[in-house]
Amino acid sequence: MTDTTLSSSRIAVIGAGTMGAAMAKRLLVAHFDVDVWSRHELTIIPLVDLGATSHPEAKDAVAKADVVLTMLPTADVTENLMFDEQGLQAMQRDAIWVQMATIGPKATDDIADRARSLRSDVAFIDAPVSGSRGPAESGELLILASGDESVAPLLQDVFDAIGRKTMWLGPIGAGSRMKLILNTWLAFQTEGAAESLSLATRLQTEPSLLLEALRDNALASPYAVAKLEKMIDADFRPDFSLDWALKDLELVGADAGTDAAPVASVIAERWHSLVENGSSGLDVSAASRGLAVKS
């Protein structure tokens, strides 16, 4: 590719769940040609209505793309589609593969090495995103990119369509490491909101007063206040599911060791119990369940 941007290029989005579908919509609004593939046909229909081209197999979706974005649930699924089912092999020469899901640093390094050995002409970029459904739908994600920064100008228009800011953090894997750190921070804030609400209930303090005390208070981030509101209302409609937050905490333990963030490991144990006992598929605000609060 000789252009300095990809504003008129073709983008493939592999994985059209909550985040992948939102990204695909942002790219369509930005007038990219978008090819999509998803394991779930219903998630594709709104994208096709907006002008995307759907494909029955991932390898068909990537075949004409200049940039392939993968937003799949796990490293195993990513490897299966891109390697075992020939997704990488089907990509155009000199295309760019941007891996945007949270799969952990070790899996990212392994996939990057395997991609390089199979297709040295394809640039592999590690670029998970920070943000949930709302930021994804409004194009306000933080993109945590790492890898060959010489391709940054080629990806600028793509990243600008889906994110408010892109950080280039260094060699491949740096983006995934930062993502785990940020999601651990997210877990601490979520659990902190849940336990503070539980404490307010136990100490017979009206939850609305706790919320009022935290508004515009340096102690609380907008994220924590928003999750506290959802907990008070027992609103567990998923923006970022408890299952995926738990998966990320388990990656922290696997990739960094439980001694690096021992509190995160304790949170993971409690959240695992919640997911196993009726909270699967609910928003991370369901962390309040099982405590002394309305559930």
Q: pLDDT of 56-95, one tens digit each?
A: 999 999 999 999 999 999 999 999 999 999 999 999 999 9
* Lowest mean pLDDT across 42-46, 121-125, 205-209, 261-265: 42-46
Give the three-state DSSP class for 56. coil
| Helix 174-202, helix 222-232: angle, nearest 10 | 50
Per-residue pLDDT at 9: 85
Residue 98 phi, psi (nearest 5):
-110, 110
Per-residue pLDDT at 219: 94
The whole-number average pLDDT for the span 265-273 is 97
**Reported confidence tier of residue 118, pLDDT bands at 50, 70, 90:** very high
Could you read off the pLDDT of 151-169 as tens digits, one per residue? Answer: 999 999 999 999 999 999 9
**pLDDT over 50 at 220, yes or no:** yes
**Reported confidence tier of residue 295, pLDDT bands at 50, 70, 90:** low
- Kindly state the DSSP code that residue 219 receives in the 8-state scheme: T
| Maximal CA-CA distance, the chain | 65
Which structure tokens are listed for 243? Answer: 């299952």
Per-residue pLDDT at 294: 59
Could you read off the pLDDT of 180-218 as tens digits, one per residue? Answer: 999 999 999 999 999 999 999 999 999 999 999 999 999
What is the rounded CA–CA span in Å between residue 171 and residue 125? 9
Buried b (16+ CB within 10 A) or exposed e, 155-183: bebbbbbbbeebbbbeebbbbbbbbbebb
User: Of 12, 73, 90, 87, whose CA–CA distance to 39 is shortest?
Assistant: 73
Mean confidence (pLDDT) of the chain: 94
List the beta bridge partners of residue 96.
67, 123
Per-residue pLDDT at 203: 96
**pLDDT over 60 at 6, yes or no:** no
Per-residue pLDDT at 41: 83
293: number of Cβ within 10 Å: 20
The whole-number average pLDDT for the span 232-260 is 95
**pLDDT over 50 at 1, yes or no:** no
Domains (range + CATH), the chain: 10-175 (3.40.50.720), 182-288 (1.10.1040.10)
